[in-house]
């Protein structure tokens, strides 16, 4: 099955995505939702490596990768656009609606989100439960930002509009990989660095502010009853494995795995282990 690079209109704006169709006996659709400030290329090893009975969809969220920004409904106190996690969850619902018209989507779907993609996942579970069959929460947390982190995001949003994405790329790269960059494959560094550098400063600012305003999902974790898999990375300093394990324990139907070789980007850093554990877990939970 080949990869198709496609686009579709969502709210009259162009959304780009990669799709890999399934073979005739398709059993599920996996929706991959990237982290911040990245794009669908984060999932390249899953799009290439997962078995052919799954339809795979990896959109560029609006304003990231090649997708046009979404219309902003929310602004902060200084009049700056804020892309909330609820707006992004609702956008994904409309993205799926737009695709469903052409080729019906196997529902319910598997929602697989990394970090910011996971924050969106909590909202998707709350607002679009009927679409959700399984949830995969990679390198993400339920808690909202502390006041300190929220303030730092506000400062970063101002700075990126003044200086562009370069300082953010420089600061984030070591944190995203979580291991010495000298030990990381140069192609992986190039992929992540260029993803950040290609993200418009306005999107980085609006995304930061949106994450800063996100709700604390801890309170509704216990209501998410779909099978859920937490994937952490032993070297992840952004979302420590211990915190993810304790989020996992609050959910009625969740399991936890820690990738020993990974930082914050397990699907890219250890794709063989990630793909295998995802396949095994989906098989075990196929009829859940």
What residues form DSSP beta bridges with 6? 17
What does the alpha-carbon distance between residue 19 and residue 17 come to, in Å, rounded to a whole number? 6
**For ligand MLT, the closer CB: 116 or 278:** 116
Quote the least distance from Cβ 180 to ligand MLT, whole Å: 19
From residue 231 to residue 270, the character string flagging contacts with ligand MLT as x (rule: CB under 6 A) and all else as - is -------x-------------------------x------
Quote the least distance from Cβ 133 to ligand MLT, whole Å: 23
CA distances from 182 to 127, 263, 271 (A): 42, 14, 19
Count of residues that bind ligand MLT according to CB under 6 A: 7
Quote the least distance from Cβ 58 to ligand MLT, whole Å: 15
**For ligand MLT, the closer CB: 28 or 213:** 213
DSSP H or E segment with residue 231: strand 228-233
Quote the least distance from Cβ 8 to ligand MLT, whole Å: 24
Quote the least distance from Cβ 43 to ligand MLT, whole Å: 13
How does DSSP assign 83-123, residue by residue? --HHHHHHHHHHHHHHHHHHS---SSEEEEEETHHHHHHHH
CA distances from 272 to 34, 213, 245, 260, 266 (A): 18, 35, 22, 12, 10
Q: Using the rule CB under 6 A, is 36 a contact of ligand MLT?
A: yes
Q: Which residues in 185-224 contact ligand MLT (CB under 6 A)?
A: 211
198 φ/ψ angles, rounded to the nearest 5 degrees = -80, -10
Q: Using the rule CB under 6 A, is 115 a contact of ligand MLT?
A: yes
What does the alpha-carbon distance between residue 119 and residue 121 come to, in Å, rounded to a whole number? 5
Which listed residue (96, 116, 135, 184) binds ligand MLT by CB under 6 A? 116
**For ligand MLT, the closer CB: 173 or 238:** 238
Binding residues for ligand MLT, rule: CB under 6 A, are 35-36, 115-116, 211, 238, 264
């Amino acid at each position: 099955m080949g990869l198709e690079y496609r686009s579709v209109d969502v709210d009259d704006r162009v959304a780009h995505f990669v799709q890999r169709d399934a073979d005739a006996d398709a059993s599920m659709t996996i929706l991959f939702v990237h982290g911040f400030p990245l794009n669908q290329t984060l999932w390249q090893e899953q799009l290439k490596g997962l078995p052919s009975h799954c339809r795979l969809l990896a959109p560029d969220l609006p304003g990231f990768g090649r997708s046009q920004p979404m219309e902003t409904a929310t602004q902060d106190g200084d009049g700056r656009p804020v892309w909330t996690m609820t707006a992004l969850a609702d956008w994904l619902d409309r993205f799926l609606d737009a695709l469903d018209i052409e080729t019906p989507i196997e529902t319910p779907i598997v929602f697989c989100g990394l970090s910011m993609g996971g924050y969106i996942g909590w909202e998707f579970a709350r607002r679009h439960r009927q679409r959700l069959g399984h949830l995969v929460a990679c390198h993400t947390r339920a808690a909202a930002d502390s006041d300190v982190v929220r303030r730092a995001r506000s400062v970063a949003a101002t700075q990126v509009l003044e200086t562009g994405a370069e300082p953010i790329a420089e600061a984030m790269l070591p944190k995203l990989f979580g291991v010495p960059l000298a030990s990381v494959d140069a192609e992986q560094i190039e992929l992540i660095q260029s993803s950040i550098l290609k993200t418009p400063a306005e999107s980085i600012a609006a995304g930061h502010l949106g994450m800063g305003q996100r709700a604390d999902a801890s309170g509704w974790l216990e209501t998410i009853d779909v099978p859920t898999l937490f994937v952490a990375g032993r070297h992840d300093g952004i979302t420590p494995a211990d915190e993810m394990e304790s989020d996992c324990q609050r959910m009625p139907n969740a399991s936890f795995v820690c990738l020993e070789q990974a930082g914050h980007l397990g699907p890219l850093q250890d794709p063989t282990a990630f793909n295998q554990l995802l396949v095994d877990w989906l098989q075990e939970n196929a009829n859940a």
